[in-house]
């Protein structure tokens, strides 16, 4: 008897920077994809020399090389969803937008990575305009943290209600969904907000007292991308992403003096 054929595995693409410390960026994305049983592919936009304490160097890939990576992946695999992370420059953003616009449309999660937790700038100031005009309108969903939501909405955020107003403004401004993360707001619960036009959904979990939070934004957007690639809708995907990050924080184990996320969740 012939063995039963195994079902195909969903494929996801991450377009982002490399984190030499392994806890964020491309490395976090691929670990998250694997943990959620999605085959991960990548297009690397930048090399960074970093660990959870600091980014000590950034070297951008050429836009042409970024384009070649995207073409190689999308021509070789049936990409079911993609995400963007650190894009760094206006030229890379324009290249990514152009290459994705030439492909059959699939869900696109845009994590508007601007500043590292350590304070290092991961998006040039002159690239913000390109991000807002070229890439954000192509997104299925945008996943800003509090600081990024303030920049994209032009609003100050101090409370959950402020976060809702900012999420609605981003959704309206870019005609797409906005999943604004409230982890930087005070309180013993973390509330994330999904805004699709005027529709607002809250996702609330108890705050995890973790020593290390490096890479949480990358893991969240990657988990959402994996869920979309596997067939979840946006609301279910948001719940999956939030639960995944909470578990990864809660079960983190020391790696030297750092406590990275536990992408296996156990």
Q: Kindly report, residue by residue over 59-111, the tens digit of the pLDDT.
A: 999 999 999 999 999 999 999 999 999 999 999 999 999 999 999 999 999 99
DSSP bridge pairs for 83 = 14, 109
DSSP bridge pairs for 59 = 47
pLDDT over 60 at 145, yes or no: yes
Q: Is 96:89 a contact under the CB 8 Å cutoff?
A: no
Instruction: Spell out the domains of the chain, with CATH numbers in brackets.
Output: 11-150+215-250 (3.40.1190.20)
Q: DSSP class of residue 60?
A: E
Give phi and psi for 35, each to the nearest 5. -60, -30
Please work out, in degrees rounded to the nearest 5, the angle formed at the alpha carbon of residue 15 by the alpha carbons of 157 and 181. 20
Q: What's the pLDDT tens digit per position in 155-189? A: 999 999 999 999 999 999 999 999 999 988 988 99
Q: Could you give the strand order of the β-sheet that contains 141-142, starting from the edge strand earlier in sequence?
A: 54-60, 39-51, 11-19, 79-84, 108-110, 141-142, 177-180, 189-196, 199-206
SS3 label, residue 206: strand
pLDDT over 80 at 120, yes or no: no
Q: Where are the beta strands (DSSP E) in 26-95?
A: 39-51, 54-60, 79-84
Question: Mind telling me the catalytic residues?
Answer: 181, 213, 215-218
How does residue 140 score in pLDDT terms, banded at 50, 70 and 90? Answer: very high
For residues 220 and 247, what is the distance between their CA atoms, to the nearest angstrom?
Answer: 11
Q: Where are the beta strands (DSSP E) in the chain?
A: 11-19, 39-51, 54-60, 79-84, 108-110, 141-142, 177-180, 189-196, 199-206
Q: Is 220:245 a contact under the CB 8 Å cutoff?
A: yes
């Amino acid at each position: 008897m012939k063995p039963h054929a195994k079902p195909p595995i969903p494929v996801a693409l991450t377009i982002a920077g490399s984190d030499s410390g392994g806890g964020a960026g491309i490395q976090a994305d691929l670990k998250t994809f694997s943990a959620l049983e999605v085959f991960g592919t990548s297009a690397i936009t930048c090399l960074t020399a970093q660990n959870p304490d600091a980014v000590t160097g950034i070297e951008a890939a050429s836009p042409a090389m970024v384009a070649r990576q995207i073409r190689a992946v999308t021509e070789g695999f049936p990409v079911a969803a993609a995400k963007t992370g650190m894009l760094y420059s206006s030229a890379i953003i324009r290249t990514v937008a152009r290459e994705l616009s030439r492909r059959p449309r699939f869900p696109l999660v845009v994590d508007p990575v601007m500043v590292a937790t350590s304070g290092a700038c991961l998006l040039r100031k002159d690239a913000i305009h390109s991000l807002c005009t070229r890439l954000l309108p192509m997104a299925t969903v945008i996943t800003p943290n509090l600081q990024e939501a303030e920049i994209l909405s032009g609003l100050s955020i101090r409370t959950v209600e402020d976060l809702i107003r900012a999420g609605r403004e981003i959704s309206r401004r870019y005609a797409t969904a906005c999943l604004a993360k409230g982890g930087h707001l005070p309180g013993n619960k973390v509330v994330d907000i999904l805004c699709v036009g005027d529709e607002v959904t809250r996702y609330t979990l108890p705050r995890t007292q973790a020593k290390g939070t490096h890479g949480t934004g990358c893991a969240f957007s990657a988990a959402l991308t994996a869920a979309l690639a596997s067939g979840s809708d946006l609301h279910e995907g948001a719940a999956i992403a939030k639960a995944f990050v909470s578990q990864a924080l809660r079960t983190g184990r020391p790696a030297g003096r750092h406590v990275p996320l536990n992408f296996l969740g156990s």
